[in-house]
Amino acid sequence: MRLNASVALCLLTSAANALPQPQQPAATATLPSEPASDTAAASSQLDELSKYAQSLANSSLTSSKRAACNIANVAIRREWGSLSNKERKAYTDAVLCLQAKKARYPTSIFPGVRSRFDDFVGTHINQTTFIHYTGTFLAWHRYFTYEYEQSLRNECGYTGYQPYWDWSKTAASGLTKSPILDGSQFSMSGDGEFVSGKGNVVLGGNGLPDLPLPPGSGGGCVKSGPFKDMKVNLGPVALALTDGTTVSNGDGLGYNPRCLKRDLTDAINQRFANASSVVSLILKNKNIYDFQMVMQGIPGSGSIGVHGGGHYAMGGDPGRDVFTSPGDPLFYLHHGMIDRTWWIWQLLDQKERTGAKGISGTGTFLNTPPSANTTLETPIDLGLAAGTVVKMKDLMSTTAGPFCYIYL
């Protein structure tokens, strides 16, 4: 079954960061209502859904420059592979710049912070149990990723916008064969050095059945690309290892310098974060509770969702640690895709999904311990890392509140 929808397609050039005027609707396009199980067909469906979301976002923007967000100033976030080599290097240079800048947090609060980059990692560690499996999960990470982007722009001279990692593309190509993770100077670096003798990562515990996940093709220190010399300073808190155990360094806020490790795992990308997974998430879940739970992986279901699929596909340290995961710069491209997926889903029923009915959950991880429901008035505070205290209602649309961006 397919649903009719009138689509105004935008002519978006690959080099432009400003949204051009749309064409007049010339034809009626169709939107999928059922996800394709074939990943190639699902990839085409995802393209259709994305173009439809673009047209809806575009049509909602005014041409008046008096509006805070308008058709002339809206930013466009793009997939890594669509960027030129110059644009990719500008992004990674800005990340390296942020890693070289002095931290805002004093070591009396986060003892291990050594840079502005670490400010974001420490903030995520400190708030992890209040921003996963909670009512703020999607909006908090939208704001977190946006403020990281703004820090790259305002503190390190970056003139582009936050790119995203389209997991459906790497599921098809293979992680190390993709522009984002091929290890070149124009990538986000590649795999870690190969480590032999690895077993499964095992998730579960607390009465849940074990969920074994295969190891990847690396496991050791990243030795190529822009982040080959990077130091991870914070964590781990709950790092899943390839012997079925986890390891921690206390609360993760102490100074613990080590190399960036990755264990790129195609099998996880292809199982949990392929095109069919993304389209199914968007089309099958009609309310925000189901959408965000399936995205994160319903505990005990045997699925880690596209959110877990991205994290565990990158693997390594800190990639497999839910607390410290922003310590890998790839985190922000992963959460760019998380936000893009939510953005598409929201625009399929914009009024309902950007208002009060677009929020579900409480303020604690799986409501443990029990806490108040998240509402439009719930505050979001990134501390000294960046930004001002905002409310959930400010974060529900990418073209309102502090935001003015869409996805291509």
**What 3-state class would DSSP assign to 151?**
helix
Per the CB < 8 A criterion, the answer to whether 193 and 219 are in contact is yes
Among the four given CATH numbers 3.40.50.970, 3.30.750.24, 1.10.1280.10, 3.90.79.10, the one describing domain 81-407: 1.10.1280.10
Mean pLDDT per 10-residue section of the chain, whose length is 408 residues: 33 34 42 95 98 95 92 97 98 98 98 98 98 98 98 98 98 98 98 98 94 98 98 98 97 98 98 98 98 98 98 98 98 99 98 98 98 98 96 98 97
Cα–Cα nearest to 281, from 307, 313, 299, 310? 307
Cα–Cα nearest to 285, from 346, 229, 210? 346
User: For 259, phi and psi rounded to 5 degrees?
Assistant: -75, 160
Domain with CATH 1.10.1280.10 in the chain: 81-407
Per the CB < 8 A criterion, the answer to whether 163 and 90 are in contact is no
Instruction: Specify the pLDDT at position 387.
Output: 86
Per the CB < 8 A criterion, the answer to whether 382 and 56 are in contact is no
Instruction: Specify the pLDDT at position 287.
Output: 98
| Torsion of the alpha carbons at 178, 37, 305 and 187, rounded to the nearest 10 | 10
The answer to whether the predicted template modeling score (pTM) of the entire model surpasses 0.95 is: no
CA distance 133 to 128: 10
User: For 232, phi and psi rounded to 5 degrees?
Assistant: -90, 120
Cα–Cα nearest to 324, from 267, 394, 251? 251
The two tokens of residue 400 are 């309102």
> What would the DSSP string read from start to end of 230-288?
-EE-S--SSEEPTTS-EE--TTS-S---EE-B----HHHHHHHSSHHHHHHHHHH--SH
Task: Please name the amino acid found at residue 254.
Answer: G
Instruction: Specify the pLDDT at position 29.
Output: 56
Quickly count: other Cβ atoms within 10 Å of residue 329's Cβ. 21
* CA geometry: angle 390, 393, 398, nearest 5 deg: 90
Q: Are strands 28-32 and 2-6 parallel, antiparallel or unpaired?
A: antiparallel
CA distance 275 to 333: 17
